[in-house]
A and B are shown apart, each in its own frame.
Chain A
């Protein structure tokens, strides 16, 4: 269908002019990464993150060290009567966790039968209470969407004020874009039946976030 491509571009060209000059301006525009209007807020970013997360029907708690993770998760699972079986993202940090014997853990992508998954956020956004997850060998995307319950760990120092901070982080890392970048704000929901909000449409019914206060050794 290269013909269509040619046709579309010739129509677009007819509608505009001075293309050459524009190529320069768009290069400048693209590399300026100019931020637009940012809604102002005065709260501390961690506080704001927590209150926003709670406002979208997710739950949140903090732990001091990564060594506290197993206990925290076991407590959470017992509280909601969830079978203590986890499918976890094969991230450096999560792989180091020493799990208590009651919990069975597998490190892999999700499949249809998995009830609970554990993931590691790339960043958190205080403006909206969103988690940012980037696909990669340590972070399979299906873990975010397949299970009934998703537990996600976020390091406290990775909570940033705005979505735009994610773009700077990704650029600084200098790598190419991951296949999928997910901004996750609360559990899955639908209002397609009589405008009534119902959680757990196709994605997780529950989202539990654990803030890790200490930054783990690299």
Chain B
């Protein structure tokens, strides 16, 4: 998918005016936050698990080269093959070639955010394959020709009515004509339509939440069972994932799984957690004949030793999105690329270039909620700040904000000047708001005062009030 992050401001304004979206966002926010809270309240070990997970991931990242080699060797030992892709184009080419070699016509896909990152569907369709998303949320947005708006709930922005309309339009060709009035009816029709697709598919492509070095396993975490049908029915199973998903042992994976489902959907464990190890064995009665793992780098190796190292611990649970006041107000599409919310505002500039996505690091109040809920203790606000600093250094941000920062720096270095200026400013503001107690228009800040009033200052600045108080104290001591 081509990044539209450049249009962030325009996208955000449109999102605010979209009432269906606003309703969906409110609904999703309440659901996600409550479910996670209930799950964590029932888990006194959360903090312990969190620091356990931190150590596991840091140990892995320190030795990532060795663990990836071990993973590759173990995949080979179980009869599969690992392919390496430096960038998204290479990943596309490798997978298109694998599908051609398999003589494929139709392909089913389980949900994969790395698949979205490399725009796999577009590449497969261009190469002439029928490509069907089988996760219900992904299927819905595929019909709507939209990108996902959430990393674990891709169609969270769609209403029941919108989905029923989409099905009506697209399922006519399969002879489904009745009007779908309820959620069970919608789910049932999707089940029927997709069942045939599962059976016809020549290749199944799934993502992976974890890659286990010890055993060469790839792990998927799902609720619908579509990932397992995608992996088990076709002749070829291709896993697309990225290098930072490697974890040393089965035991380490168990720790991360305890955090993942709770942080994502508030479940202790999802309905299906599956560990795949290569193709079908000689005596197996089902399963694919060949098994491939495609591992994407796409700038991750460059993050390893730099300021954004911490981001590589991300397990893509989506908790930072669900708790972000900005995400909850504008939804995922406004961010313009596949990863939205706080984690996306850190990743997108790294993968698509800071210039292309310059607004994203600023699309945050730095309130710190994301870091607080992140099961992998990723300091998201700090990482966003690093992007802001970089944007300033590279002169990517607007002249106006650069000027404001310069002015601020001048004041910060000269406290006397700052005090003088604030005293004048406080007086000016009090005068502006003297009749109503609030200011409805502020020079240079029209956007801020357009939708709210600024309360006028009550009295002096803090410093002058404090000084006066100290002086009074001293005086009363002398009395």
Contact = CB atoms under 8 A, between A and B. Distances in A.
Interface string A170-190: 000000111111111111111
A8 B243 contact: yes
Contact of B52 (A25, A36, A140): A36
A196 B64 CA distance: 39
A34 B277 CA distance: 21
A29 B139 CA distance: 41
Given A180-B232, A198-B184, A191 B223 contact: yes
Contact of A11 (B232, B270, B297): B297
Contacts of B214: 30
Interface string A86-114: 00001000000000000000001110100
A12 B191 contact: no
B45 A145 contact: no
A180 B275 contact: yes
Interface string A65-93: 00000000000000000000000001000
Interface residues of B, number: 104
B270 A16 contact: no
B56 interface: yes
B285 A194 contact: no
Interface in A182-218: 182-196, 198, 200-204
Nearest to B186: A193
Interface in A1-49: 1-2, 4-5, 7-9, 11-16, 19, 22-23, 25-26, 29-30, 33-40
Contacts of A186: 271
B232 to A, nearest CB: 5
B85 A179 contact: no
A142 interface: yes
A22 B226 contact: no
A26 B67 contact: yes
Given A16-B304, A39-B258, A194-B160, A167 B251 contact: yes
Contacts of B232: 141-142, 145, 180
A108 B285 contact: yes
A104 B230 CA distance: 29
B248 interface: yes
Interface string B139-161: 01000000000000111101110
Contact of A179 (B44, B67, B249, B279): B279
A36 B252 contact: yes
Given A112-B199, A179-B276, A183-B272, A188 B255 contact: no
Contact of A30 (B31, B84, B249): B249
B350 to A, nearest CB: 14
Contact of B301 (A8, A37, A203): A8
Contacts of A167: 250-251, 254
Contact of B233 (A8, A33, A142, A164): A142
Q: Output the residue of A14, A37, A109 with the most chain B CB within 10 A.
A: A37
A193 B158 CA distance: 8
Given A12-B301, A142-B233, A192-B153, A137 B191 contact: no
B271 A187 contact: yes
A52 to B, nearest CB: 8
Contacts of A202: 134, 191, 194-195, 198, 224-226, 229
Contact of A8 (B77, B86, B137, B140): B86
Given A12-B64, A183-B274, A33 B45 contact: no
Nearest to B80: A179
Contact of A203 (B62, B163, B271): B271
Contact of A164 (B48, B85, B251, B270): B251
Contacts of A142: 232-233, 286
Given A8-B84, A15-B305, A136-B281, A1 B90 contact: yes
A152 interface: no
B251 A35 contact: yes
Contact of B284 (A16, A135, A176): A135
B183 interface: yes
Nearest to A163: B254
Contacts of B249: 29-30, 33-34
Contacts of B86: 4, 7-8
Interface in B9-41: 24, 27-28, 31-32
Nearest to A24: B66
Interface string B210-254: 000111110000011110110111000000000100001111101
24 contacts: A4-B84, A16-B64, A26-B63, A30-B70, A37-B48, A39-B43, A108-B285, A109-B286, A128-B269, A141-B228, A142-B233, A179-B277, A180-B275, A180-B287, A181-B217, A182-B274, A183-B272, A183-B274, A184-B271, A191-B265, A193-B158, A193-B187, A202-B229, A203-B271
Nearest 3 pairs of A and B residues by beta carbon: A203-B225, A36-B255, A201-B224
Interface of B: 24, 27-28, 31-32, 43-45, 48-49, 52-53, 56, 59, 62-70, 77-78, 83-86, 90, 94, 134-137, 140, 153-156, 158-160, 163, 183-184, 186-188, 190-191, 194-195, 198-199, 213-217, 223-226, 228-229, 231-233, 243, 248-252, 254-255, 257-258, 265, 268-281, 283-287, 297, 301-302, 304-305
